């Protein structure tokens, strides 16, 4: 496989959950966000709010909220004598992509400056968290939180986490029928990989299963079990999230507009 | 502002729309996608389909379709005795993010290998395009196209495109009231920047405005006008996109499930 310094940086990245106390300076923050801005975008449908010098998730000294933003779009369109007519689903799809491209560039820029980071996706499943972020940071209509990102100088070191085999990810010409054997291999690569790193055992993390007996030991518990317990129990109703998204100006039916 | 090789790479990236004929080899393709996989993810809710050796958009010799994918999740959850109960909005939010983080890493990895690329977002606004991609590439239920990405060795060279001023993007603690002056500056930075590069004039690109008289010359036409004409005219109804998303297993109301 081809290698160079950037590819090594990308392949060695891992999410960091233990940080030194040193607060990254403004020059560093600005370099990271400027690099984020230069990602390819549909229409720069993003904004970033940050806080530094406190203790954020995992005691990180720096926190970003990467937002989808059509507020700025609406403002300059008004100046030019236009208004947004595009439907809320298209706006949502493009705005999440723009925000995510920027967020990933920020992760890579940070990594290159010796900083570690960790995404926090809670606001995509917990409508209360999404609304609290909207209120606390005064996000206007047209703006909603896509993902939180904490950052700082790492106080832990470990190898990159496992990923699916490439042949379970990259398909030529068409999406294939996935075989039982391919599935077995992909699950094993994830589960054995996480267990070899002692990931769940060392942190004593297991997703609880209220109403189901849980007799699984950490010798058995792996990535596929952990992920299954999340998606098998997380919020069944979209209603609360749709309500916040609608409040923020992303309506999914024509009568909502 | 802090600099290093990676940050220069990120800051100098630009979308490429003219390519050499050379077809990148499989080793290169695999390096790019492996680097993509190592992005931080909620649950690896992605897949990539590719085609090479033909002539794709902008005559590029290599084409990727980056997909949101909960099909693989569903398969391994079934093996583990679980089924997905999480609502379609949460699935959509996380899956687009996972696919986008991977896509942006692929763009950066490609750039580091001397390849240029360009995202094609049509499937997020054109439901027919989304459905055609689903059919042509046999995407199963649980998988939908997020963004197309063409790639190849560049046959054009120009400076990076303008972006909003940093103070119109990065906000401390809270989203501010945006001032008229700040808006004027941000619009000028984008419009003057694109005009200085002759971007629209050289390509003779203007978004048509059926039903509105268009007397604007290329000396006036800039980024904010171009973008306004898109969002001011694109598809008002979400219905067709919601229909395809629902067919692919992302339902937005409980009765749809």
pLDDT along chain A (257 residues), means of 10: 91 97 98 98 96 97 98 98 96 98 98 98 97 98 98 96 98 98 98 96 95 93 98 95 95 66
> Residue A85's CB: how many other CB atoms inside 10 A?
13
Kindly report the backbone phi and psi dihedral angles of residue A12, in degrees, each rounded to the nearest multiple of 5, phi listed first. -95, 0
Question: Which residues, in sequence order, are CB contacts of B217 under 8 Å at separation 6+?
Answer: none
User: Measured between alpha carbons, how far is residue A256 from residues A85, A239, A240 in Å?
Assistant: 13, 14, 15
Kindly report the backbone phi and psi dihedral angles of residue B149, in degrees, each rounded to the nearest multiple of 5, phi listed first. -140, 115
What pLDDT is stored for residue A3 in this prediction? 84
What pLDDT is stored for residue A252 in this prediction? 80
Q: At what angle do helices A71-79 and B223-231 cross, to 10 degrees?
A: 110
- Give the C-alpha separation, A107 to A156, whole Å: 17
- Give the C-alpha separation, A98 to B2, whole Å: 24
> Which chain A residue has the Cα nearest residue B221?
A80
> Residue B120's CB: how many other CB atoms inside 10 A?
18
What pLDDT is stored for residue B254 in this prediction? 58
Which helix (H) or strand (E) segment holds residue B101: the answer is helix B88-112
Rg over CA atoms, chain A: 20
Extract the tokens encoding A227.
């992920």
Q: Do A97 and B147 touch (CB under 8 A)?
A: yes
Q: List CB contacts (< 8 A) between A90 and chain B.
A: 124-125, 234-235, 238, 241
Q: Order the strands of the B62-69 sheet from edge to edge.
A: A170-172, B46-52, B62-69, B143-152, B116-120
- Give the C-alpha separation, B57 to B52, whole Å: 12
Question: Domain ranges in chain A?
Answer: 5-158+237-256, 166-231
- Residue given tokens 């992920």 in the structure block: A227
User: Measured between alpha carbons, how far is residue A60 from residues A55, A250, B77, B173, B246 in Å?
Assistant: 6, 31, 33, 16, 39
What pLDDT is stored for residue B45 in this prediction? 98
A 189-208: CB under 8 A from B: none
Q: Do A49 and B171 touch (CB under 8 A)?
A: yes
**pTM recorded for the entire structure:** 0.97
Query: Helix, strand, or coil here: B75?
Result: helix
Q: Which among A2, A46, A162 is the top mutation candidate for probing chain B, defined by the most B β-carbons within 10 Å of its own β-carbon?
A: A2
- Give the C-alpha separation, B16 to B14, whole Å: 6
Half-sphere exposure of A244 (CA within 13 A, CB side): 23
CB B82 within 8 A of CB A228: yes
CA quadruple B192, B196, B197, B200: dihedral, nearest 10: 60
- Residue B70 exposed, middle or buried by CB count within 10 Å (0-12, 13-18, 19+): buried
What pLDDT is stored for residue B81 in this prediction? 97
One pLDDT digit (tens) per residue for chain B, 257 residues: 788 999 999 999 999 999 999 999 999 999 999 999 999 998 999 999 999 999 999 999 999 999 999 999 999 999 999 999 999 999 999 999 999 999 999 999 999 999 999 999 999 999 999 999 999 999 999 999 999 999 999 999 999 999 999 999 999 999 999 999 999 999 999 999 999 999 999 999 999 999 899 999 999 999 999 999 999 999 999 999 999 999 999 988 755 54
What pLDDT is stored for residue A91 in this prediction? 97
**Residue A108, Ramachandran bin (φ over 0: left; ψ between -120 and 50: alpha; else beta):** alpha
Q: Do B94 and A121 touch (CB under 8 A)?
A: yes
Extract the tokens encoding B252.
């937005």
Q: Do B238 and A231 touch (CB under 8 A)?
A: no
pLDDT tens, position by position, B216-248: 999 999 999 999 999 999 999 999 999 999 999
B 101-130: CB under 8 A from A: 101, 103-105, 107-109, 111-113, 117-119, 121, 124-125
CA quadruple B96, B235, B231, B248: dihedral, nearest 10: 0
Distance from CA of B94 to the nearest CA of A (A): 7
Distance from CA of B210 to the nearest CA of A (A): 14
Classify domain A5-158+237-256 by CATH number: 3.40.109.10
Q: At what angle do helices A239-247 and B88-112 cross, to 10 degrees?
A: 70
């Amino acid at each position: 496989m081809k290698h160079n310094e950037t590819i090594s940086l990308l392949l060695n990245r891992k999410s960091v959950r233990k940080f030194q106390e040193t607060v990254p300076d403004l020059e560093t923050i600005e370099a990271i966000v400027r690099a984020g801005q230069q990602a390819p975008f549909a229409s720069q449908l993003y904004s970033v709010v940050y806080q530094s010098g406190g203790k954020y998730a995992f005691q990180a000294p720096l926190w970003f909220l990467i937002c989808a933003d059509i507020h700025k779009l609406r403002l300059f369109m008004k100046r030019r004598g236009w208004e947004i007519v595009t439907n809320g689903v298209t706006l949502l799809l493009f705005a999440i992509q723009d925000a995510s491209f920027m967020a990933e560039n920020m992760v890579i820029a940070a990594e290159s400056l010796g900083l570690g980071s960790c995404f926090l996706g809670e606001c995509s499943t917990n409508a209360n968290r999404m609304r609290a972020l909207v209120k606390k940071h005064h996000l206007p209509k047209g703006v909603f939180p896509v993902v939180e990102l904490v950052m700082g100088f790492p106080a832990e070191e470990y190898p990159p986490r496992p990923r699916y085999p490439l042949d379970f990810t990259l398909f030529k010409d068409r999406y294939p029928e996935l075989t039982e054997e391919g599935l077995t291999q992909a699950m094993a690569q994830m589960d054995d990989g996480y267990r070899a790193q002692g990931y769940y055992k060392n942190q004593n993390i297991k997703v609880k299963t209220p109403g189901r007996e849980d007799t699984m030991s950490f010798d058995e518990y792996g990535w596929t079990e952990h992920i299954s317990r999340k998606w098998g129990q997380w919020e069944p109703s979209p209603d609360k999230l749709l309500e916040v998204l609608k409040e923020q100006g992303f309506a999914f039916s024509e009568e909502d507009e």
